[in-house]
Amino acid sequence: MTQIQQAGADSQALRTPADYQAQLDEKRERLTQLFAGFNPPALEVHASPAEHYRMRAEFRIWHEGDDLFHCMYAQATKEIIRVDHFPTASLLINQLMPVLLAGLRPHFVLRRKLFQIDYLSTQSGQIIVSLLYHRKLEAEWQQAAETLQADLRAQGFDLRLIGRAHKQKICLGDDFVIEQLNVAGRQLTYKQVENSFTQPNAAINEQMLGWALDVTRGSEGDLLELYCGNGNFSIALAQNFRKVLATEIAKPSVDSAQFNIAANGIDNLIILRMSAEEFTMAMRGEREFNRLKGVDLKSYQCNTIFVDPPRAGLDDTTVKLVQEYDNILYISCNPETLQANMAVLGETHEVARFALFDQFPWTHHMEAGVYLKRKAG
């Protein structure tokens, strides 16, 4: 690899606090202009740590003889950029990266056809490392991997090692980590499963949860949440409502949510494994679902709904469902689709709170939050 390619990987070290504030100010201005037509209150801006904020990282692996390196591909130039440290990722990931490679280098069976390493870290100190291969993993690999895991644990890393290949997943222990988040003076526990969705920026996640708690404080009635994932928001918000009903389609996320409900001692939250579209049909009596047996939807007095949809936003049918609730809490990872949904929601609701969460510093992307209340009359 050339020196230019190496320098490209280290350029983040040149960033300053003033640089961070400048990119945050640009996002503030862009989001404010995007929603000016809805007459929102002053934008509440939640800054991220400028580095070591991302709890996940994925790297391709570059081999040179018996050596190997973390690398990334520059899409624009097609260059391969060697990455020895990565300020975007958590400090724990950065600490483990060189130690892991040092443990892999002496062992051909661990290096052979290794093409990617994925890291999932936590604030609690637990970390998962997934080694991805273009070959079948045999007993010899597992024996060497178990030795490597033991060596890394002896060096102080609370590590879970996983090997992946085509139609193979070998877990040397758990395939999940336990995260601890501090939200409004309370510690919450979350199970996070390898290769499933988790919030990428833990510090911003804590701020989003705190903001959601604040805007719904004093709420009456029950809460409905669509796209609940591992229960990230619904578990935190349960204290503000009589009962919470949440939906999620991905089985690993539902399993994690059930674990998290028990771990946090939540007794007023039910998770249904359904898509938002299916739940919409059930609520309108258009179709019955076996998964709803034993759940009396009519017993819920949901006057608040929370949605945190994918980048595509809410489909037209779900927007109409959401519009039926007096209070709408909407977290969006794509402000453009939030703006499109607001063209409908804004007909009946006004923006009571408006927030920017810098989930992805140094990128064009940002997270937005709005709390909508039904217009008087």
Verify whether residue 333 is a known catalytic residue: yes
- Of the residues 51, 206, 248, 367, only one is catalytic, namely 367
Q: How far apart are CA 31 and CA 366, in angstroms?
A: 9
Task: Return the residue matching tokens 């489909």.
Answer: 315
Q: How far apart are CA 335 and CA 235, in angstroms?
A: 25
Q: Which helix (H) or strand (E) holds 282?
A: helix 276-283
Q: How far apart are CA 99 and CA 42, in angstroms?
A: 46
Phi, psi of 187 (to 5 degrees): -95, 125
The three-state secondary structure class of 347 is coil
Instruction: Tell me how far CA of residue 340 lies from CA of 28, 277, 344, 370, in angstroms.
Output: 19, 18, 8, 13
Verify whether residue 367 is a known catalytic residue: yes
Instruction: Tell me how far CA of residue 309 lies from CA of 43, 262, 306, 325, in angstroms.
Output: 21, 25, 10, 17
Closest to 172 in 3D by CA, of 131, 133, 136: 131
Q: How far apart are CA 331 and CA 232, in angstroms?
A: 12
Number of helical (H) and strand (E) elements in the chain, helices listed first: 11, 17
Closest to 307 in 3D by CA, of 293, 323, 283: 323
- Of the residues 71, 333, 347, 350, only one is catalytic, namely 333
Active site residue ranges: 333, 367
